[in-house]
Each structure stands twice: as structure tokens, then as C-alpha cells.
Structure 1
């Protein structure tokens, strides 16, 4: 089974995590909300599959390259 790492695109803070490990997601589903420069940015699933791992928690500060989630497809 292939895996896709979903990484943080910009420095910010995780406001909420919308999925949990084991959830099935479709391409385009919101995985979490990232606040950066006073704007809330949804982080979307790049592929359809199952969330194998969540790498962030609400109120966590993140930087580009940090892994938000791993999706198996």
C-alpha cells in the first residue's frame, strides 16, 4: 500500500484537526485548519485513502515540512 505524507506548506499554528487515525478521506477533504498571518487555511487531503497517522495537535506551532498526516492509498 502506498503512502502520502501531507506536509505543512507555511509556518503557522494548527487551529483544529478535522480527522483522526483510521478515518477514510477523499481527495479534497479538510484534514486540519492552519492559522498563518491571521488567516485560517484549510489543509486538504491530496489523495483518497485512510489516515494512517496524525502528526499534529490543536494549538501546535508548525513550520514548512512538518508532517500533518500520513494517508495510505
Structure 2
């Protein structure tokens, strides 16, 4: 099991995948907006999306260690 994590706080601008989608390493799965910049968050490996825990418009303030 692997999680996709954000390295900075920001607003979820666009969710590019849904549960059941197949992703490949390096594929963008979410676009964050922070300080008027778009920050793509990419899959770190190949796999199938099990669950998407964010929605467009959500604010991410808690980051993974």
C-alpha cells in the first residue's frame, strides 16, 4: 500500500484521478494551488487508486512526515 502525500500546504485545485483508475509512476494525480502557483502532486509508483480522500476546494494544512 502506498499513499500520495503533499510536501506543502495548499488548496486542492484539481483532482485528476478517481477510485479504480490505474496510474503510472510520475503521473500527476492532484494539482494544488499555493501562493498563486499550481503544484502538481505525482504518483510515486504504478498502481490502482484505491481511495481519493480529498475534494476540489479542500484546504490541505496537515502534511505527512
Residue 17 of structure 1 is matched in structure 2 by 15
Residue 33 of structure 1 is matched in structure 2 by 31
Q: TM-score, normalised to structure 2's length?
A: 0.92
Shift of 1:36: 0.8
Partner Cα separation in structure 2 for residue 9 and residue 54 of structure 1: 17
Segments of structure 2 that go 5 or more residues without pairing to the other structure are none
Counting matched residue pairs gives 63
Segments of structure 1 that go 5 or more residues without pairing to the other structure are 66-73
Given candidates 46, 51, 54, the residue that maps to 2:52 is 54
Give 1 or 2: higher strand fraction: 1
Runs of 4+ in 1 over 4 A off after TM superposition: none
Given candidates 41, 44, 62, the residue that maps to 2:42 is 44
Partner Cα separation in structure 1 for residue 2 and residue 9 of structure 2: 20
- CA RMSD in angstroms, aligned pairs only: 0.7
Map Cα deviations across residues 27-46 of structure 1 (whole Å, 9 max, x no partner).
01110100111100010000
Q: TM-score, normalised to structure 1's length?
A: 0.82
